[in-house]
Amino acid sequence: MLQPPHPHIQLTNDELDAIIDLIWKQYGYDFSHYARASLMRRVTRCMLNAGFRTGYELKYHLTNDRNFFYWFLQTLTVNVTEMFRDPVVYRELREKVLPKLASYPVIKVWHAGCATGEEVFSMAILLHEAGLLNRARLYATDINPANLEQARKGMVPVHPMKEYAHNYQQAGGRRDFTGYFTFFNEGAEIKPELRKDIIFAQHNLVSDQVFNEFQLIICRNVMIYFDKVLQNRVTTLFYDSLSPLGYLMIGMKESLLFTNVSPHFEETSAGLRIYRRKK
């Protein structure tokens, strides 16, 4: 049955500003440079799920209920992810990028905004098949502690497995994809030997700093939620975190063109948004 178009939810831009301010002062998370249209949409969606109609109710609960805030954070941030999403990109990684990275004695990879880990698990499989996993250190970070807790379990849902297997094959995978998992009632667990070199840690792209030097940084469909100011901050952070000639991989519909670091990178594969830091 069709629901009415959130007719009762009223949230003005000023109220959204007040909520952003409250979250910053009380919990230390800064959403002021998130892309406004999608932030407004997600806050309204949280209110709908919580049964609130006014910005006042939302402010009241954020002020007085810490548990509510963590639920709100979980609902507000986008945690959608897939294995081998955009197979053509993973094929390029396999065929063009990994052979270049093979020359490094230790290959350090950063997945920024890893959500529940599906992309870093995909990368671990690629590195394993290229015989590079034993030389790789994978750092997977996210703003959301609940995501990291889930990612550390190495468990992905079973229902999209068929799609993931198809993506894997499209990405040039020739082995038995399901062989990388142990199946349980509650999900499919990635084999521990594929996960042992992954370090999961909380990192907030809005406020945290460079923490290592990487040969490859993957940050796909994360910066779309940021405004231009924050995109500039984050892409500068990535530039500073890459070794010379290191690779940066962003989402298929994201572009460095609209950021300040654009002159310092070249896109190595047309249209795939795999960039290489110039020296």
Partner 1 sequence: MSLLTGKQINVLAIGGSAGSIPVLISLLKSISKPVPYTVIIVIHRLKNVHSELSLLLSGGLGYLQVIEPDDKMPVEPDRLYLAPQNYHLLIEADLTFSLDYSEPVLFSRPSIDVTFESVAQVFGQGAVAILLSGANEDGARGIRSIIEEGGTAIIQAPHTAAYQSMPLAAIRLNQEANVLQPEEMIEQLRRSTG
Name which of 54 and 262 has its Cβ closer to partner 1.
Answer: 262
- Residue of the chain from 8, 175, 196, 228 that contacts partner 1 (CB under 8 A): 228
**Least distance to partner 1, CB of residue 235, Å:** 12
Report d(CA 12, CA 100) in Å as an integer: 50
Report d(CA 167, CA 90) in Å as an integer: 9
Report the DSSP beta bridge partners of residue 95: none
- Residue of the chain from 62, 78, 165, 206 that contacts partner 1 (CB under 8 A): 78
**Least distance to partner 1, CB of residue 38, Å:** 4
Report the DSSP beta bridge partners of residue 187: 184
Structure tokens at 3: 């629901």
228 within 8 A of 261, measured Cβ to Cβ: no
232 within 8 A of 260, measured Cβ to Cβ: yes
CA angle 107, 87, 92 (to 5 degrees): 50
Name which of 4 and 28 has its Cβ closer to partner 1.
Answer: 4
Instruction: Say whether residue 158 binds partner 1 (CB under 8 A).
Output: no
Site string for partner 1, 258-277 (x = CB under 8 A): x-------------------
Instruction: Say whether residue 41 binds partner 1 (CB under 8 A).
Output: yes
Report d(CA 29, CA 31) in Å as an integer: 6
**Least distance to partner 1, CB of residue 197, Å:** 27
In the window 183-222, what residues touch partner 1 (CB under 8 A)? 221
Report d(CA 106, CA 121) in Å as an integer: 18
State the residues that interact with partner 1 by CB under 8 A: 2, 4-6, 35-38, 41-42, 78, 80, 85-87, 163, 166-167, 221, 223-225, 227-228, 231, 251, 253-255, 257-258
